[in-house]
A and B are shown apart, each in its own frame.
Chain A
């Protein structure tokens, strides 16, 4: 996994929020990479820092209190963290683009679809107005909107959630980016529409030949789409491997618990398995030890004492749990 072949390489990322004068880390020490044309899924419960991590990459954190405190985000070998707003504007929407969770609020209610779609092209190309409008219409057709030439003149409130998400996708792919970040793109949609949107995203991802960072909490989606998977818990990466090994040989107790809570066709169960408890909130994060300890079925007394490290258990499979020597800060050296 050398830098050259990674399109995006996140290293040691810490993103903090300032609340009442103190900094709390929503993302703590996250590292992973995305290769060209690859689909990497980030999974975890709500409140795990998945969205904050993806907003960090785009430099879209809330300006008044969110901040990348430490770490590097290398895109094609160039660190994005120190870039100014203007420099990021050259990259956002062109090389990296993003689809958000909430299509209902992600579009400006008082501007027409055409205006909002044209904007990406105006920002990043030098084409003439009529040419841009033609391109916008063809983009709408590409994302499966049938009345594209009418829809450009319509406003967001005239479209359904699924249509709006299609518009968002059209915006995201307008400049044929190399990386698409999709932050739970189907969560707010009807189940029937979810499948269509995912299918569309996959199709376009293959057509355009872009890499994708897909944030989701739906393991079904992961199974279908992912090449590799990053499992996050409480702001940290707890397991990082390829999709096959994640499903057939999960290592971290959290991953196992997540997989266990999927209902299965071949079993009759009265009650679904759940992971008891909730993700600790930013303010209640344990100061030391494993962050999953309170909810972990295999917790040991020392789990609350020792900070587990993300260690490579086997090639291409990293875990953060002291059940594995590679994660144990003292035993790690012996493994090597």
Chain B
């Protein structure tokens, strides 16, 4: 198991190398740079701007720029944000906890909802309750998240006033106090719910279908023949098998949730990585864009690794000795 994990981590290195090249090429492909459009040429000397470009190394050949960038990363130096005038690690460090909180709350809500709904629908297929759950699923799958987010804000914030519509924490609260954390969770709940809707729908559907399929399996018949009660059959025999496909999805979810967070955070003005990414792209703050994109790639790879390891825990057939 340990050797397997180490081997998997080692194989991530070449993958990351390729990813870094693609990410870097994409960032370079963006038109303009941090200096274009930001400075009024009437106020500043064009020669000075050109001098700044030279100084920042923006005029160097591509491979030199890439080499400088990658050499920095190896030393945990992601460069400086031109817009924020701070180190990229600091800029990201400010935002990262918010996004992690959002993703974690979103995943927890997703798992709870999907588990309850999927299990109910799978045990009672083709009933009214099942149809209601499936209807909700299709709705969650079909509505784009930015539309869902606007509806959620309209209904739960403006009409009902249950949740705040913007921000990631209340004003005037001291960081670290209990009130601060409660306020944070309170601000996180609505965006997390919207963010998890898509994943919840697909999990629910997967779980439902797998439970229905598994309930016809021979081993379920064997369990019945032993006099095992219906609830034990579902909770012990079927669920253990039906969780397997969901765990496989876990790796992809990490990516899709963080990707979704870009949109959701922007709509909710939630100060996380997603919002940072969008504004950085708009301002051509390429050091931040590069670092965030690379970070998302690493998160996806780690998510997949985690899913593979969990897979072995749940399914003894693929357990690595």
Docked CA distance A124–B236 (Å): 17
Tell me if A320 counts as interface (CB < 8 A to partner B): no
By a CB distance below 8 angstroms, the chain A residues around B224 are 58, 60, 92
**Contact between A93 and B316 (Cβ–Cβ < 8 Å)?**
no
By a CB distance below 8 angstroms, the chain A residues around B269 are none
Docked CA distance A100–B241 (Å): 21
The bracket for how many chain B residues form the interface is 20 to 34
**Contact between A94 and B227 (Cβ–Cβ < 8 Å)?**
yes
A window 86-136: CB within 8 A of B: 86, 88-94, 97-98, 100, 102, 105-112, 116, 119-120, 123-124
**Contact between A58 and B225 (Cβ–Cβ < 8 Å)?**
yes
Q: Give the contacting residue for A92; candidates B216, B218, B227, B240; CB below 8 A.
A: B227
Tell me if A40 counts as interface (CB < 8 A to partner B): no
Docked CA distance A110–B218 (Å): 13
By a CB distance below 8 angstroms, the chain B residues around A60 are 221, 224-225
B94 to chain A, nearest CB (A): 44
Docked CA distance A132–B237 (Å): 19
Docked CA distance A89–B216 (Å): 18
**Contact between B227 and A107 (Cβ–Cβ < 8 Å)?**
no
By a CB distance below 8 angstroms, the chain A residues around B216 are 62
**Contact between B227 and A85 (Cβ–Cβ < 8 Å)?**
no
Q: Give the contacting residue for A97; candidates B225, B229, B244; CB below 8 A.
A: B225
Docked CA distance A102–B225 (Å): 14
**Contact between B227 and A89 (Cβ–Cβ < 8 Å)?**
yes
**Contact between B317 and A109 (Cβ–Cβ < 8 Å)?**
yes
Docked CA distance A85–B317 (Å): 32
Q: Mark A72-95, 1 if CB is under 8 A from B, else 0.
A: 000000000000011011111110
Docked CA distance A252–B59 (Å): 98
Tell me if A310 counts as interface (CB < 8 A to partner B): no
By a CB distance below 8 angstroms, the chain A residues around B229 are 86, 89, 123
**Contact between A90 and B219 (Cβ–Cβ < 8 Å)?**
no
A123 to chain B, nearest CB (A): 5
B window 284-321: CB within 8 A of A: 314-317
**Contact between A110 and B225 (Cβ–Cβ < 8 Å)?**
no
Q: Give the contacting residue for B218; candidates A100, A155, A171; CB below 8 A.
A: A100
**Contact between B218 and A102 (Cβ–Cβ < 8 Å)?**
yes
Tell me if B226 counts as interface (CB < 8 A to partner A): yes
Q: Give the contacting residue for B227; candidates A102, A112, A123; CB below 8 A.
A: A123
**Contact between B315 and A110 (Cβ–Cβ < 8 Å)?**
yes
Tell me if A168 counts as interface (CB < 8 A to partner B): yes
Known: A88-B227, A109-B316. 7 other contacts (CB 8 A): A58-B225, A86-B229, A89-B227, A89-B229, A93-B228, A105-B218, A107-B219
What 6 A-B pairs are tightest by C-beta distance, nearest first? A93-B227, A93-B226, A105-B218, A92-B227, A108-B219, A155-B316
19 cross-chain CB contacts under 8 A: A90-B227, A93-B225, A97-B225, A100-B221, A100-B222, A100-B225, A106-B222, A108-B222, A108-B223, A110-B240, A110-B241, A110-B314, A111-B237, A111-B240, A119-B226, A120-B227, A124-B227, A157-B316, A168-B222
